Structure 1
Amino acid sequence: MTKSNTYKARPAVDTDLPVLDAFLQGIIEAERPMDPTLKDDHIIYYDLESYIDQNDTYVVVVETEGEIVGSGYGQIRRNKDYFKYPYYGYIGFMFTKVTHRSQGVAKMIIDYINIWFAERKISEVRLTVYDKNSPAIRAYEKAGFKKHLIEMRMNLDEH
């Protein structure tokens, strides 16, 4: 893809759901090899249809030339009582079509969602990413995120 493409972010609508469902399966397909805890059969991470209608969740798409090429959502979540901010913004469902990667689509989605967070007085924004997903980590760092916490796991059946 050339840099001459004009990308535009906008809120997702119900008619986007078939594309968003395909993106969701693309995310799961990419993450399955990184996570041995995922079930082998068909799974769904998010109820995207309800997310589009929720007040505390903002589903965003990026399109170019009438084609949706990226997605993400921002969600306002309640924090634990011991944290400085009572609520934080969580970003998830980040997906960019392979042919549009390295074009700034992910950053555009994050920036668009961050405006939504700021309008709601949310200062702290978090996301989770698999440690083995180096391309995503680089994209998030380019968008301003910093590594903060490492989650570790152990399977007692394997020991």
Structure 2
Amino acid sequence: MLIRKATIEDLPVLLQFEQGIISTERPFDSTLKPDPISYYDLKAFISSSEVEVLVAEIDGEIAGSGYARIKKNPDSYYDFEKYAYLGFMYVLPPHRGKGINQAIIEELKKWVAEQGLAEIRLEVYNDNTGAIKAYEKVGFEKRMIEMRIRI
């Protein structure tokens, strides 16, 4: 397995991954607009110095993806001004269970540390137990639960 920075040439595959993420998450959130929708500006992310987009290759095929994005902390009561936000975690179904997410996250953690940041955050749907277990396996802990009500 090779973990590397994503390039503009990877964009067609990454756009398919984005739709895979959306279709996986759609059952967890009835407020998502009907297709087609997009979560990310992947082209801008790939060329930004504030975002590290990584892909995992297996036998020359892009099998997984993820990014860490530097975000400014809006709350002055924390002891850090910036943190990294983890997103775009996706692995093709035939390659799941091979440690791809873990390998990508480990490389993103290195990049985050090189940026002088000490915290990574992410969001995951409460009912997405598989993703929660995968994130806990690499050291993430639950802190806050966002609650919503439609009126």
TM-score by length of 1: 0.93
Alpha-carbon shift at residue 136 of structure 1 (Å): 0.6
Question: In the alignment, which of 118, 123, 145 is matched to residue 123 of structure 1?
Answer: 118
User: What SS does structure 2 have at the residue aligned with 1:33?
Assistant: helix
1:9 corresponds to 2:3: yes
User: What SS does structure 1 have at the residue aligned with 2:13?
Assistant: helix
Contiguous gaps of at least 5 residues in structure 2: none
| One-letter code aligned to 1:60 | L
Q: Find the counterpart in structure 1 of residue 105 from structure 2.
A: 110
Alpha-carbon shift at residue 115 of structure 1 (Å): 0.4
Alpha-carbon shift at residue 82 of structure 1 (Å): 1.7
- Deviation by residue 1:73-106 (Cα, 9 ceiling, x = unmatched): 0001000222111100110000011111111100
- Deviation by residue 1:22-41 (Cα, 9 ceiling, x = unmatched): 00000000101100110013
| One-letter code aligned to 1:27 | I
User: What SS does structure 2 have at the residue aligned with 1:137?
Assistant: helix
| One-letter code aligned to 1:39 | K
The structure whose Rg is larger is 1
Q: Find the counterpart in structure 2 of residue 87 from structure 1.
A: 82
Determine what percentage of the aligned residue pairs are the same residue: 47
Q: Find the counterpart in structure 1 of residue 40 from structure 2.
A: 46
1:151 corresponds to 2:146: yes
Q: Find the counterpart in structure 2 of residue 4 from structure 1.
A: none
User: What SS does structure 1 have at the residue aligned with 2:16?
Assistant: helix
Contiguous gaps of at least 5 residues in structure 1: 1-6
Q: Find the counterpart in structure 1 of residue 67 from structure 2.
A: 73
User: What SS does structure 2 have at the residue aligned with 1:17?
Assistant: helix
Q: CA RMSD in A?
A: 0.7
Alpha-carbon shift at residue 63 of structure 1 (Å): 0.5
Question: In the alignment, which of 130, 137, 144 is matched to residue 142 of structure 1?
Answer: 137
User: What SS does structure 1 have at the residue aligned with 2:43?
Assistant: helix
State how far apart, in whole Å, the 1-side matches of 2:34 and 2:27 are: 11
Q: Find the counterpart in structure 2 of residue 3 from structure 1.
A: none
In the TM superposition, 1:57-68 aligns within 5 A as: 57-68=51-62
Alpha-carbon shift at residue 60 of structure 1 (Å): 0.4
User: What SS does structure 2 have at the residue aligned with 1:108?
Assistant: helix
Q: Find the counterpart in structure 1 of residue 127 from structure 2.
A: 132
| One-letter code aligned to 1:31 | E
State how far apart, in whole Å, the 2-side matches of 1:41 and 1:111 are: 32
